[in-house]
Structure 1
C-alpha cells in the first residue's frame, strides 16, 4: 500500500524546543489516523510539522510523492473564515492556489477540480451563494472542498466537527468516510473520542509521559492497560 506519511523518531517543537517526545508512525493510502491526546501534548504542533510550517526538532518525516503546498488541509473554523464575503465557488477554487504557480489566472483544470470537489461534498448547488450565508455544517463542507482542490491523496484535518451540531457532525463523518473508502488518507486531530473510535483505522496517542501508535483495536487494548490515557 502506498505510503503518504512516515515518521521516524519525529519530535515536533518550536525554535528547537520539543513539545512532545519522539513518535513513530506511518499513514498509507486508505488509512484514517486519529491523533488523540491531552491538551498541550503537541498535536497541533505535529500537524504544523507535517504541513511543513515547522521544522522538526529531531527525527525524520517523509511524505512520499506529496508537495507541501498541495496538501489538503482543513483547519479549525475561525470568525474570519465564517465572515468571508467570497462565493462558495471562489472559496473552493482558492484551494488550487498551491498548484497555480506563476499563472495569473486559474485554468480549465483548476475549475474542473473545484466543480468536482463541490460535487463530492454535496455543495455544487450552492456555488453562487455567499460563503457567510451558509450554516456551520455547509461552511465546513465548502472548506473540505477547498482542501480537496489542494490535494485529495491526503487530508489533514484539525478538529473537523468542532462547533457543528450532532446532525452536521454525523454528515461530515459520513462524507469523510466515503472519501476514505475511495483511497484518500486522513490525518485527523480530534477530541471527539466517539467519532475517532467509530471511523479511524489507526490511532496516534500523544501523552505527557508516553505515546502510542497502532490500529484502533490495538489502541483499545493499550488504553485498557493504561487507564490514565
Structure 2
C-alpha cells in the first residue's frame, strides 16, 4: 500500500482545543492564556513575530513543555497518529548518513545500521517519491541543500500516516520546486481530512493555502478565516509587538 493510499484511509483528523494555555519560563511569560480551537480536518496556520510563542505552543501540544490550562485533542474515535515536521535538522554534516539511513532511523524500530526493513521500505520509498527525493536516497544528508533536507523532513512526517500533522515553518528552506511539492502535499492532506497545524512566516502563502489563521504574540490577537484575518491593521498590531524572547532547548521561543 502506498503512502497516498495510507493517507486516504487515515481517517478524520482531530480537533484541537487550547483553553487558557499559559507558559512561564523563569520570569518570562511565553504564553498568556492562549485560547483558540483548530477544527477537525482543516489547515490552521499560526502566525506572529519571532519570540511570540508559536513554537512553544507547538511543544506544549507535543507534550515537550509544561503548561497551565487545558489542551485537548478531540478524536472522532480512537486516538490516532500525530506527525511532526521540525523547522530545521541539526546534525553533524560529516556523518556518513544517507537519506535512506535517516529515514530508517526516524521511521522504523529496527536499528538504522541494519538498513531498511521490508515492513517500511515501501512506505519510505513512496514518501520520498512524493517529495521528489527518490533519486537522492543514497546521497549523504550532509551533502544535500537546505531545501532538499527540508523535503526529507516532510517525507518522514508522512510515516506512519498521521491524522494530525504539526508543521514548524516547513517552507523556510524550500526552493520554488520544493514549495510546489509542499503545496501539493497540503492539498492532499486537506482532501484526506487530516488536521494540519502550521507555523508559517510567508503570509501570502498562509492567505492562499490555510483555512483559518491565529495571530499569536504571547496571547491570541486574532483568530479568523484566512480570507479575512490578514488585514494590514491586524498585521501591524501583530508584528509591531516585541515580546520578550526566551531560550528554549537552545532555540528561541518562536
Q: TM-score, normalised by structure 1?
A: 0.79
Q: Which runs of 5+ in 1 are unaligned?
A: none
What is the CA-CA distance between 1:166 and the residue it aligns to?
4.0
Q: Distance in 2 between matches of 1:82 and 1:186?
A: 30
Q: Distance in 2 between matches of 1:141 and 1:15?
A: 36
Q: Distance in 1 between matches of 2:202 and 2:94?
A: 26
Spell out structure 1 runs of 4+ moving beyond 6 A.
Answer: none
Aligned 1:1-229 pairs, distance under 5 A: 2-14=13-25, 18-62=29-73, 64=75, 65-66=78-79, 71-80=82-91, 85-97=96-108, 100=109, 107-207=117-217, 210-220=220-230, 224=233, 227-229=236-238
Give me the CA root mean square deviation: 3.2
Between Structure 1 and Structure 2, how many residues are aligned? 223
Larger helix fraction of residues: 1
Q: Distance in 2 between matches of 1:16 and 1:153?
A: 36
Change (3 A) 1:129 1:227: closer
SS at 1:25's partner residue?
A: strand
SS at 1:22's partner residue?
A: strand
- The answer (yes or no) to whether the contact 1:73–1:155 under 8 Å persists in 2 is yes
Please, which moves more after superposition, 87-96 or 40-49?
87-96
Q: Distance in 1 between matches of 2:226 and 2:237?
A: 17
Q: Which runs of 5+ in 2 are unaligned?
A: 1-11, 239-254
- The answer (yes or no) to whether the contact 2:22–2:67 under 8 Å persists in 1 is yes
Larger RCO (CA within 8 A; separation ≥ 6): 2
Q: TM-score, normalised by structure 2?
A: 0.72
Please, which moves more after superposition, 23-32 or 194-203?
23-32
Change (3 A) 1:84 1:227: same
Please, which moves more after superposition, 16-25 or 126-135?
16-25
